[in-house]
Chain A
Amino acid sequence: MKHDFFFDVAHMLAGGLVLVSFLMLYQDRLYALINVFALHAFVLALSVAWQAFIQDAPHLYVTAVIALGFKAIVIPVALHRIVERLGIHREIETVVNIGVTMLGGIGLVALAMVVMLRVTPTADALAREDLAFALSVLLLGLLMMVTRRNAVSQVIGFMSLENGLILAATGAKGMPLVVEISVAFSVLIAFIVIGIFLFRIRERFDTVDLQALDSFRGDSE
């Protein structure tokens, strides 16, 4: 029975991550979106720590700490400051309306379940459900990136997508290089978020709305 308890908690945390992904889909204010993303990263950190515990893999605690410290605290704080400094705490412009987006999200989760559960009948129950949840989080992140125009929310969409990957990597028992991969991703995100792009875009356009960028397409006649 003890094993079942371990499984249930892991299951709950991974499922919670999918739920928080849905929460992010319908946030229409940037501050709220950033807060929900911090929650997303926090749930991920718990889930990774739990995996580290049940797999008896101490190196995964490093990944959990990175998720907690970097993605649940440092990045949200930095994003808050950027949003504040740029003065863009108004409504998010969504390309598709929220109802349709949510329906699309439900469809994607169903797709993820069908695909992953069908191809992994031999894997152990924990790993296959983790993979299905991870693919759902990944697809929801992707959905968020395509339905948003705003640079900050696109970055948040990308980060939630990446959280799904970390979930998959930690769920795959004994996978090497997980810590290295999560560090590589953090570097990628740090590069993008903290600096260069948002500041450059701000500097050149006084807006982080990517629609403003569209007019500069080189091939317009």
Chain B
Amino acid sequence: MNLGPFDPVVAILAIPAGAAILLALLPGYLATSRLNVLASFSTFVSAFTLFFAPHRQSQFFLIDDVNIVFVTLTTFVAFTTSVFSASYIGHELESGRLTPVYLRFYHAMYQVLMLAMNLALVANNIGLMWVAIEMATLTTVLMVGIYRTPAAIEAAWKYFILGSVGIALALFGTILVYMAARPTVGEGLDAMAWTTLVAHASTFDPALLNVAFVFLLLGYGTKVGLAPLHAWLPDAHAEGPTPISAVLSGLLLNVALYALLRFKLLMATNPGAIATGSLMVAMGLLSVVFASFMLYRRRDIKRLFAYSSIEHMGIITFAFGMGGPLANFAGLLHMTMHSLTKSAIFFAVGHISQIKGTQKIADIRGLTETHPILGWGLVLSVVAIAGLPPLGIFMSEFLVVTSTFAREPALAIILVFGVILALGALFLRLNSVAFGEPTGSRAPSQASYVPMYAHLALVTIAGIYLPPPLVTWFQHVARLLG
């Protein structure tokens, strides 16, 4: 299909950039939050046209089947989150937690974050990808600290320190990859271009590549939130504005994982390199089991779901670490389902904590009675995230587990143990939050339910019926991922 002069790659970068500048300058809440939604929507539409645009590669940008999936998912969740954000932020302004100046800053940063994530996903240059992920880290640090409460500042500080160390290690790994590539590829931009690297990776020095991958795994693994590098994640999720928690969990973790997957692909083409899969499997399993135990001790509802994100990123990393068409397919599906479900949960939790004026699990009770739409929405999302049938996450977890049972039964048992443990913790908490004697405010909420139920509808449909074109596409990408 010919799209004429319209270039989707330029659009998904230029729209957020332009919107960020406009949003930083324009005053007022109503107009700017709508502009934020509009910009996010047009970015999503532009990203969708990538499916029809021809693949291409230049020294800086690359569009292939793998990153189209990531870009589309990112821009879609960014769009629905911006709809949720509009009503969430309105309430924050009324309650005085955010001032109009900070609102401008918030909206501008939201779009800069979109720009950074899209740039990281379409970059063909490993240096450019690193710069984009650094930019995304920086914007989210600033947004986590935006309420300026002591807890928010601690969270932002912790995130900044750990995130910076992570990206510093990732840069060292990137430099080592360049060093490994230089003897065969030659100096200059080509030795950092993704496509050239993959084409020549078999001739690189394996020892140097191995060391490089360890640094990259530690560096980008910190951003994915894998145990034991996860310490920043629960604080950052709990203390920032809830739309940012949704974007962090649903998108930014995926972007870091995408960077890791790219380097895994690179390593796979070199015969002398270590088996990167087993490293990812180990870290993934550790994250699943660790996070599942930690879920039992949470007192704060946003922290609870932050630990659940660690658990699910662990499952996804595990699946990609196992590799092979089936496990990769399951990993991709799980990543999509987790992004949709987890952001739906944060949409619900955001409104709930606004209505009740607290994030403490003990102080929120009987939601289904006082706010049935929100309460049942939360119940449905937690059922989905815990992996019960017939919802989407059940299917992807089932695929991960069955494909593992066929190859490594022992690992599958550990994985199932972790997942069931998490399910128990989530239901324990859900029971007290959703049912029982209601406490706290019964005031009707002016929440926007559309984004939450839209995500839940998608997850439910995916659990029952996956459209064949989507399956074919995912299978194709899964084969590419090796």
Contact = CB atoms under 8 A, between A and B. Distances in A.
Contacts of B151: 216-218
B211 A172 contact: no
A164 B469 CA distance: 49
B139 to A, nearest CB: 10
A40 to B, nearest CB: 16
B192 A177 contact: yes
A164 B267 CA distance: 25
Interface in A117-173: 118-120, 122-123, 127, 131, 134-135, 138, 142, 145, 151, 154, 158, 161-162, 165, 168-169, 172-173
B145 A200 contact: yes
Contacts of B191: 174-176
B154 A216 contact: yes
Q: Is the interface of B mostly helix, strand, loop or mixed?
A: helix
A210 B153 CA distance: 11
Contact of B172 (A158, A168, A176, A204): A168
B300 interface: yes
A181 interface: yes
B148 A188 contact: no
Contact of A219 (B145, B154, B183, B299): B299
A192 interface: yes
B160 A174 contact: no
Interface string B150-165: 1101101100110011
B294 to A, nearest CB: 10
A145 B127 contact: no
B128 A213 contact: no
B175 A177 contact: no
Contacts of B412: none
A201 B176 CA distance: 37
A218 B179 contact: no
A69 B443 CA distance: 57
Contact of A218 (B168, B176, B303): B303
A218 B164 contact: no
Given A181-B131, A204-B153, A176 B179 contact: no
Interface in A175-202: 175-177, 180-181, 184, 187-188, 191-192, 196-197, 200-201
A120 B178 CA distance: 13
Contact of B157 (A142, A165, A201): A201
Interface stretch (B90-98, B202-210, B327-335, B390-398): B202-210
A53 interface: no
Contacts of B187: 173-175
B168 A165 contact: yes
A79 B297 CA distance: 40
B161 A158 contact: yes
Counting chain B residues whose Cβ lies within 8 A of the other chain, the interface size class is 35 or more
B131 A184 contact: yes
B168 A197 contact: no
A173 B171 CA distance: 16
A188 B300 contact: no
A138 B187 CA distance: 24
A217 B179 CA distance: 42
Contacts of A6: none
B165 A161 contact: yes
B238 interface: yes
Given A122-B183, A188-B134, A196 B145 contact: yes
Contacts of A210: 157
B130 A219 contact: no
A197 B125 contact: no
B175 A175 contact: yes
A221 interface: yes
A115 interface: yes
B138 interface: yes
Interface of A: 115-116, 118-120, 122-123, 127, 131, 134-135, 138, 142, 145, 151, 154, 158, 161-162, 165, 168-169, 172-177, 180-181, 184, 187-188, 191-192, 196-197, 200-201, 204-205, 210, 213-214, 216-219, 221
Given A172-B178, A174-B191, A216-B154, 7 more contacts: A116-B211, A158-B165, A158-B168, A175-B178, A177-B125, A200-B153, A219-B303
16 contacts: A116-B211, A135-B172, A145-B165, A151-B157, A161-B168, A162-B168, A165-B171, A169-B175, A174-B188, A176-B191, A184-B131, A197-B160, A200-B148, A204-B150, A214-B154, A218-B359
